[in-house]
């Protein structure tokens, strides 16, 4: 507890609270403006077959270009967007950008690559949003290219997610992916009730996996359960050769996503990098340790 017995401290305290409130107002204002001006863009990160290095799919990761032109990662605005009721619109903007860029996406990553869009658990629990989003995916004319990534919390919450919402997406051919698996509130046994196509093991289990026997045990458990349930496993946040070597030597996990294979990249960066053939573009998209 801070005892507020000096004028200096009170002034310091006020001004730091003021600064915080100001900073929040500033980001709120820029968020509203960014929605109006559609100042969002997507970085794409590939999901890679660790045996062949082929791109299985890509994930769209939203970015905000703020008032000063600085690119902001979602950590700084997703929760706020959700609180302010702007996240649904943002998700529709992400889809719109994908549709607009589909030719370049196909050229860069291949026309077979699945395209994953993140949906926050709160959105997943809102049937109205999910219906409108399913309709928007259908309207693209290629809904079967898409996957939605939701955290396990969305499955555990008592709503009609599993019984009514997911079947609607499945009917369109949209894949279902469980994001950040292992960090939420469900247990391994809860997986038995979940019907999804893909399970993404959270980065916290993959980091230094070669040196961490407990993580290795958890990985083995998730792996065998997923295999029994027919779900594809993806290792998230793979950063090092040692981690990759462990996965290859000690597991049957076939897919990974992480800086080791590719950072999230902007399509326009690839477009600007001339002269570039489509083959070298694909390899740029897959180059380890690329910036951004």
Q: Is 180 in the site for Mg ion (CB under 5 A)?
A: yes
* Phi-psi category of residue 25: left, alpha or beta, with phi > 0 → left and psi -120 to 50 → alpha: alpha
Q: For Mg ion, which stretch binds (CB under 5 A), given 92-100, 122-130, 149-157, 240-248?
A: 149-157
- Should residue 91 be labelled a site residue for ligand C2E when binding is judged by CB under 6 A? yes
Cα(292)–Cα(269) distance, integer angstroms: 10
Nearest approach in angstroms of CB 265 to ligand C2E is 10
User: How many residues bind ligand C2E, per CB under 6 A?
Assistant: 24
Helix axes 87-100 and 102-109, enclosed angle (nearest 10): 70
Using the rule CB under 5 A, give the single segment among 78-86, 106-114, 230-238, 257-265 that binds Mg ion: 230-238
SS3 265: strand
Within positions 186 to 245, which residues make up the interface with ligand C2E, using CB under 6 A? 203, 237-239
Task: Examine residue 66 and tell whether it contacts ligand C2E (CB under 6 A).
Answer: no
Distance CA 68, CA 168 (A): 41
Distance of CA 155 to the CA centre of its chain: 17
Asked if 149 interacts with ligand C2E (CB under 6 A), we say yes
Q: Which of the stretches 12-20, 113-121, 125-133, 184-192 binds ligand C2E when contact is defined by CB under 6 A?
A: 113-121
266 is an interface residue for ligand C2E by CB under 6 A: no
Beta bridge partners of 42: 62
Q: How far is CA 150 from the centre of its chain?
A: 9
Residue 74 interacts with ligand C2E (CB under 6 A): yes or no: yes
Smallest separation, CB 184 to ligand C2E (Å) = 12
Region binding ligand C2E by CB under 6 A among candidate stretches 16-24, 137-145, 212-220, 253-261:
253-261
Token pair in block for residue 247: 């996965």
- Minimum CB distance to ligand C2E, residue 255 (Å): 13
- From residue 171, give the alpha-carbon distance in Å to each of 25, 269, 278: 42, 35, 33
Is residue 179 a contact residue for Mg ion (CB under 5 A)?
Answer: yes
43 φ, ψ (degrees, to nearest 5): -100, 150
Compute the distance between CA of residue 236 and CA of residue 205 in angstroms, rounded to an integer: 9
Smallest gap from residue 254 Cβ to Mg ion (A): 18
End-to-end CA distance of the chain: 41
Q: Which DSSP string do the residues of 138-175 spell out, in sequence order?
A: HHTS-GGGEEEEEETHHHHSSSSIIIIIHHHHHHHT-E
Only one of the segments 30-38, 67-75, 131-139, 212-220 lies at the binding site for ligand C2E (rule: CB under 6 A); that segment is: 67-75
Report if residue 118 touches Mg ion, rule: CB under 5 A. Answer: yes
The answer to whether residue 259 forms part of the interface with ligand C2E (CB under 6 A) is yes
Using CB under 5 A as the criterion, which residues of the chain lie in contact with Mg ion when the complex forms? 118, 149, 179-180, 236
Using CB under 6 A as the criterion, which residues of the chain lie in contact with ligand C2E when the complex forms? 45, 61-62, 73-75, 78, 87, 91, 94, 118-120, 149, 179-180, 203, 237-239, 257-259, 264
């Amino acid at each position: 507890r801070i005892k507020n017995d000096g004028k200096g401290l009170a002034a310091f305290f006020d001004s730091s609270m003021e600064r915080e409130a100001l900073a929040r107002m500033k980001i709120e204002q820029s968020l509203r403006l960014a929605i109006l001006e559609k100042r969002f863009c997507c970085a794409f990160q590939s999901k890679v077959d660790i045996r062949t290095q082929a791109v299985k799919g890509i994930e769209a990761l939203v970015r905000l270009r703020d008032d000063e032109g600085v690119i902001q990662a979602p950590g700084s605005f997703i929760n706020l967007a959700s609180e302010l009721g702007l996240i649904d619109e943002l998700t529709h903007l992400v889809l719109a950008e994908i549709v607009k860029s589909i030719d370049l996406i196909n050229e860069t990553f291949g026309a077979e690559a699945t395209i994953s869009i993140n949906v926050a658990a709160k959105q997943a629990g809102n049937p109205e949003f999910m219906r409108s989003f399913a309709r928007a995916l259908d309207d693209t004319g290629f809904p079967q290219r898409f996957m939605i990534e939701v955290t396990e919390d969305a499955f555990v919450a008592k709503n009609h997610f599993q019984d009514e919402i997911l079947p609607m997406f499945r009917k369109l051919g949209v894949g279902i992916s469980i994001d950040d698996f292992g960090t939420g509130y469900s247990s391994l046994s809860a997986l038995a009730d979940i019907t999804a196509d893909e399970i993404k093991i959270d980065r916290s289990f993959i980091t230094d996996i070669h040196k961490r026997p407990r993580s290795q045990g958890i990985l083995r458990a998730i792996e065998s359960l997923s295999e029994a349930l027919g779900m594809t496993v993806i290792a998230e946040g793979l950063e090092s050769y040692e981690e990759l070597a462990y996965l290859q030597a000690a597991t049957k996990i076939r897919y990974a996503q992480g800086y080791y294979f590719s950072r999230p990249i902007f399509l326009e960066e690839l477009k600007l990098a001339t002269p570039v053939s489509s083959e070298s573009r694909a390899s740029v998209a897959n180059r380890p340790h690329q910036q951004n």
